[in-house]
Amino acid sequence: MEADTRMMDNNSSNIDIVVLTKGVPDFREGKVSFDEHGHLERGKTPTVMNPNDRFALKAALQTKVRSGGKITVMSMGPPGYKEILQEAMNIYADDLYLLSDREMAAADTWATSITICTAIEKLDPKPNIIFAGFKTADGETGHTGPQTSWALQWPIITHVVSIDVDSDGGKITAKRLVQGDIKEVETVEVELPCFIIPDPEFEAEYPKASHRLRLQKLTEETQERAISYEETLTMWDHKELNLDPDYIGLDGSPTIVGKVDPIPKAPAEREATIINFKSKKEMEEVLGVMAPFAGED
């Protein structure tokens, strides 16, 4: 038991992790704003953390719990993305990085990948595992992760549903869905550094009691840290990354937006009847409607 406690308190590891996350429009609000060129105005649009990035964060946290190391969460976007990083830290992060200035705005996946790759290479120590979400809820291209991996010249494993990190041996063994098919799974082994894209079918695994205790401890720590998250936040602009504005943001994006059809907020399709729960008569009417569905007379 004493050995397990030491393991739980020991953060030393040769594993350094980066998780990429992004803010996406909160389509539930139905208030998505575009400029005259068809580019999303992120500063005027309600934003939430990309749902698929949660699987990347959970995979990173599993790695830290079972193999140790440090988790850095990184995003690129306007200053308002600080709140997205705070949301990510509530799942887990040791520190946060936001790449942000006007020169980076309106970037396509190519220009985004170049910017992120440059920031990753600036980190000290450099990471040896990067996790990213399967795709984003706005663009849904699934390009940014693979393009960043290509820019780094790292191997990449996609559609990952299970992962085991051998920090001493410097390798990862992962199970992945073949072409996204849940019925066919293959096992892949790669050396670090590498890039991992967890599938939405990914589920974190904590088989040992010591893992579950450490998970609880780390979760409590990160949620406490998230309250004052800006103390762990570093912001870099294009000058600090030594990036030429001609190769990032809108100017560095080869993609041309042909047309944008904003998604209107869906109208309510069902009628609702408001009742007073203190009214015996109205409650009897509700029970009368529900009873047949419960198999009762």
- Least confident segment among 18-22, 67-71, 234-238, 286-290: 286-290
Domain presence at residue 260: no
Q: What is the pLDDT of residue 6?
A: 38
Domain for residue 254, yes or no? Answer: no
Sequence-separated contacts (24+) of 276-283 with Cβ below 8 Å? none
Whether 147 maps to a domain, the answer reads yes
The average confidence (pLDDT) of the chain is: 87
Q: What percent of the chain has pLDDT over 70?
A: 83
Query: Under a CB-based contact definition with an 8 Å cutoff, are residues 178 and 186 in contact?
Result: yes
Whether residue 280 lies inside any domain: the answer is no
Q: What is the pLDDT of residue 140?
A: 77
- C-alpha distances in Å from residue 225, one per residue of 50, 65, 89, 125: 21, 17, 8, 22
> Alpha-carbon distance 139 to 142, whole Å?
8
Q: What would the pLDDT profile of 37-46 be if each residue is shown by its tens digit?
A: 666 666 666 7
Tell me if 9 is assigned to some domain.
yes
φ, ψ of residue 233 to 5 degrees: the values are -95, 130
- Report the CATH number that the domain containing residue 188 is assigned in CATH: 3.40.50.620
Flag the least confident range among 23-27, 126-130, 246-250, 259-263.
Answer: 259-263
pLDDT in tens, 196-253: 999 999 999 999 999 999 999 999 999 999 999 999 999 999 999 999 999 999 999 9
CA pair distance 84, 233, nearest whole angstrom: 12
Per-residue confidence at 295, pLDDT binned at 50, 70, 90? low
Pick the closest to residue 94 from 9, 16, 4 (CA basis): 16
Let me know if residue 52 belongs to a domain: yes
Q: What was the pLDDT predicted at 54?
A: 96
User: For residue 7, what pLDDT is reported?
Assistant: 41
In a domain, residue 259? The reply is no
pLDDT beyond 60 at 3: no
DSSP string, the chain: -HHHHHHHH----S-EEEEE--EEE-TTT----B-TTS-B-GGGS-EEE-TTHHHHHHHHHHHHHHH--EEEEEEES-GGGHHHHHHHHHH--SEEEEE--GGGTT--HHHHHHHHHHHHHHSSSPPSEEEE-S--TTT----HHHHHHHHHT--EEEEEEEEEEETTTTEEEEEEEETTEEEEEEEEEEESSEEEEE-TT------SHHHHHHHHHHHHHHHHHHHTGGGGEEEE-TTTTT--GGGSTTTT-----------PPPPP-S------TT-HHHHHHHHHHHGGGGT--
Token readout for 40 is 């999303």
Of 270 and 159, the one with more pLDDT: 159
Residue 109: domain span: 2-247
Other CB atoms closer than 10 Å to residue 267's CB: what's the count? 6
pLDDT per residue as tens digits for the range 68-118: 999 999 999 999 899 999 999 999 999 999 999 999 998 999 999 999 999
Domain count, the chain: 1
Structure tokens at 208: 């040992």
Domain contains 276: no
Per-residue pLDDT for 1 more than 50? Answer: no
Q: What end-to-end distance do the CA atoms of the chain give, in Å? A: 58
Q: What is the reported pLDDT for 268?
A: 59
Of 75, 94, 71, the closest CA to residue 24 belongs to 75
